[in-house]
Amino acid sequence: MFDAITLDQLRTFIAVVDEGSFSSAGRKVRRVQSAVSHAMANLESQLGVRIWDRTTKIPTLTAEGSVLLTNARRICAEVDALKRVAESFVNGLEPSISLVVDAIMPMRALVDLCREFAVKFPTVRLHLYIDTLSAVSARVLDGTCQIGVVGPAAHVQGLDREHLSSVRMIPVAASTHPLAQVKRRLSTEELAEHVNIVLSERGTSLQTEDQAILSTHVWRVADLGTKHALLLGGLGWGNMPEHLVRTDLAAGRLVRLQVAAWGEDTWLLSLTVVHRPEIAKGPATRWLLKRMSELCLRDLGPDPEHP
C-alpha cells in the first residue's frame, strides 16, 4: 500500500497543516473540501496510521501525524530539488567540473572561488586538484580534469590556452641568513656558496626542467609549503611567489634579495588557463573562469603583461 502514496497526497497533507483546516487547504490546492478530506482518509488508510484527531471541531495532528509531517516535508523538498537539478541540466548546466591549479596560484583567490561557486551552483560538483609544473597539464591531457591553470614552464602541447594573470617571483632568504645581511646586488658566485631551494617536478612523464638555479648546492622540493618552511628556517634561499611571502616580508621574517644576474621582472610568470580543444563550456564553467580572473586581479594586482 505504501507504493500507492502520491506526492499529491503529501502536498495536500502539508497544505492542511499550514492552512489550518481542510477547507483552507482546498482553496490553496484548488480542490473542494470533500476531495481534501478523501485524500487525507486515503493517506491514513495507506499508511495504516491515524494522522488526524477528529474528536475536535477542527481536526488536529496526532503525535504520529506530527512525525509523518516532518518526513512529508523532507520528501517534497527533495523532489523539488530533484526537479530543479533536472531543469538546470536541460538548460545546459554541467553536472560536474574538475579543476586543477598550479600551487603558485593565490590560495585566497582559490578559496573564495570555491566558496562562491558552491553558493552559485549548489548542484554542480566541483572536483579540485592542486599540483605543480607539468603535473597540472598532465591531468588535463589525460582527461582527469577539464580545466587547468598552469605556469609557463608546464608542457601544454595539444591544449587550448588563454592568459589568466601573472605572478611575480622574487628571491628571498630568512632575515637570519647570511645573504640577507648583504645590502647590495648579489653576484652569482656569492649565491652559489649557499643552498638554493627550488621547486622540482615530481616525476611525471612530462618532465619540467628546474627553474632559477644559481648554485651547485641545490635542495629540490615538490611543494611550495615545504619550500616556504625551509626558507623561513634559514636553510637556504630561493624564489617565491610575491603574494605568498608578502606578510613575511612585511614582518621581517624574510628579506628580498637583490640578484645581479636577474632583472626586476625576470621571473614574472604567466598563469594560463588550459583545456582540451573539444571541451564544451557550460554556464558554470564560464562563470568559474570569469570569476577566477577577477579574484586573481584582486590578489595579484594589475597584470604587467596584459594591462
Instruction: Give the Cα separation of 158 and 277 in Å (integer).
Output: 8
For residue 91, what pLDDT band results from cuts at 50, 70 and 90?
low
Instruction: Give the Cα separation of 176 and 260 in Å (integer).
Output: 21
Percent of the chain at pLDDT > 70 equals 91
- Is the pLDDT at 259 greater than 90? The verdict is yes
CB 285 within 8 A of CB 206: no
**What is the predicted pLDDT for the residue at 166?**
92
**What is the predicted pLDDT for the residue at 92?**
66
- Is the pLDDT at 171 greater than 70? The verdict is yes
**pTM given for the model:** 0.67
- Is the pLDDT at 285 greater than 90? The verdict is yes
Mean pLDDT in residue range 223-239: 95
What domains can you pick out in the chain, each with its CATH number?
2-89 (1.10.10.10), 96-164+271-300 (3.40.190.10), 166-269 (3.40.190.290)
**What is the predicted pLDDT for the residue at 87?**
63
Percent of the chain at pLDDT > 90 equals 48
Q: What is the pLDDT of residues 103-117, one digit of tens each?
A: 999 999 999 999 999
Neighbours of 266 (CB within 10 A): 13
C-alpha cell at 128: 579540485
CA 33 to chain centre: 51
Instruction: Give the Cα separation of 167 and 84 in Å (integer).
Output: 40
Q: What is the pLDDT of residues 67-83, one digit of tens each?
A: 988 998 998 888 877 77
For residue 45, what pLDDT band results from cuts at 50, 70 and 90?
confident
- Is the pLDDT at 210 greater than 60? The verdict is no
Instruction: Give the Cα separation of 111 and 296 in Å (integer).
Output: 11
